[in-house]
Chains A and B, each alone.
Chain A
Amino acid sequence: MAKWEMMTGNKAAAVGAKLARVQVIPAYPITPQTTIVEYLSKFVEQGELKAEFIRVESEHSAMAACIGAAAGGARAFTATSSHGLLLMTEMVFWAAGARLPIGMAVVNRALAPPWNIHVEHTDSHSQRDSGFIQFYAKDNQEVLDTIILMYKVAEDERVLLPAMICLDGFILSHTYMPVEIPDQEDVDLFLPPYEPKGFLLDPEEPLTYGSLTLPEHYMEMRYDIQRSIESARDLILKYSKEYEEIFGRYHGGLLELYKVEDADYLLISMGTLGEEAKVAADTLRREGIKAGAVRVRVFRPFPTETFVNTVSEKKALIVVERHLSLGGIGGALGTELKALLYGKTDVPIFNYVTGLGGRDTTYIDLAKIVKHSIKTGRPKDNYMWYNLKMG
């Protein structure tokens, strides 16, 4: 029987990895990810999880060891955050290019200087071109469920790419919530023990991986990554449904939709802002504004058709995000959504940047943002700051 437990997002990540029967865990501590590493060390040392824990000396080495482990035929998992992810960047791109289905939890945190340990999505957005599949969670249950799901998708022969689950620093990582822990036997049925389907370092078949590739061949390998990650769209939907059949939970496929159908205005966001957006939609509806919420659960592959079909007929889209591309024209989500919808619909798209460095952003803020955009009519600026305290 599945059990319920009050746990933090970090414990949910560790328990998810354990249920996924990860075999090699190279990891390095960084706030606010640290307790994931601590829980997993404990699981391994207590013999609850048959895995090799590698206490590496940096995040760069954490992902390098994941790459080695996956190429050596093991299911590999790591977790990091913020500067750790940025130090790891070279190997993040390498893991995807190497076509190894590694799993990673990223606890979203702002970047220094100045030091800040609170939530922001700049760290994981910096990896959006890497070839990693990217999930963003709204609560701790979704963290646990998605870790199991992401291996299923990543290891599919059509995909063979690494995947990350992103969870908001402190808001999820350190907040206790009730989480249902599925039975190991059920998880094993959904996600059987690892069998490498892609590249394997095997003396019986002495292949060389990632050797020098000239312009004549390189582009096709990039094309293959793109085609493979795109094939993950359908597979995420398919496996999310299968997951629901076994475990009774569905967190949305690529997009989680809330009161979208009759809505005039859609709040579009990621991570825990997606939960606030639901409350904001209800709040606005009580005031007679027909609002709905769209939570982008999967940022890579970017939901394309689903997005177009969901949002095209609305009066306005209000994208609120904890990210800004410095020197750019907005946050990653707002910018990409505009690019996607260009020429397909005339719906106005507002992009609000807020909540950087963990600044509190609640449903009250989101409701205000919607009202502000209704009043504005059509966006005058590429993006707007919200809750900026100047002077």
Chain B
Amino acid sequence: MEMADFFHIMPVSKPSVGAVGKTGTWRVFKPIIDHEKCTRCGLCWIYCPDESIELKEDDTPKINYDFCKGCGICSDVCPVKAIKMEAEEIG
């Protein structure tokens, strides 16, 4: 048996965005940022358990709805109440 004919099936996994799929489908409530109110403090970004808020160059937060599960933490920690949780439309 030569090495060329041989390959392994090893329990090794590679880092991937969406390892369990698009977790945005889990969402019941959707966070909406009011950019007028937002002070770009970054609290929503650092506390998002799903790494679904990105900070742009100027620290403006942007929610990635593909993965946001809608837990509501960003809305709860926002010091100026700039994030509202709205019920997702079903269907």
Contacts and interface: CB of A to CB of B under 8 A. Distances in A.
A and B touch in the complex (CB under 8 A): yes
Interface of A: 97-99, 157-158, 160, 198-199, 206-211, 213, 217, 220-221, 223-224, 228, 231, 234
Interface string B1-22: 1010010111111110000000
B8 A228 contact: yes
Nearest to B14: A207
B12 A234 contact: no
A258 B64 CA distance: 72
Contacts of A97: 11
B37 to A, nearest CB: 38
Nearest to A99: B10
B15 to A, nearest CB: 6
Contacts of A157: 3, 6
Given A206-B15, A231-B1, 8 more contacts: A99-B8, A207-B12, A207-B14, A208-B14, A210-B11, A221-B9, A221-B11, A231-B6
Chain B interface size, under 10 / 10 to 19 / 20 to 34 / 35 or more: 10 to 19
B1 A198 contact: no
A234 B8 CA distance: 18
A160 B8 contact: yes
15 contacts: A99-B8, A99-B11, A157-B3, A157-B6, A198-B8, A206-B15, A207-B15, A208-B12, A208-B15, A211-B11, A211-B13, A213-B11, A220-B9, A221-B11, A234-B1
Given A157-B3, A158-B1, A234-B1, A209 B9 contact: no
With a 10 A CB-CB cut-off, give which of A98, A207, A231, A234 has the most chain B CB atoms.
A207
Contact of B12 (A158, A199, A231): A199
A345 to B, nearest CB: 27
Given A157-B3, A208-B15, A199 B9 contact: no
A195 to B, nearest CB: 15
B18 to A, nearest CB: 15
B36 to A, nearest CB: 39
Given A158-B1, A231-B1, A234-B1, A198 B10 contact: yes
A199 B12 CA distance: 8
Contacts of A228: 8
B23 to A, nearest CB: 16
A231 B9 CA distance: 15
B41 to A, nearest CB: 30
A199 B11 CA distance: 9
A356 B8 CA distance: 40
Nearest to A219: B9
Contacts of B6: 157-158, 231
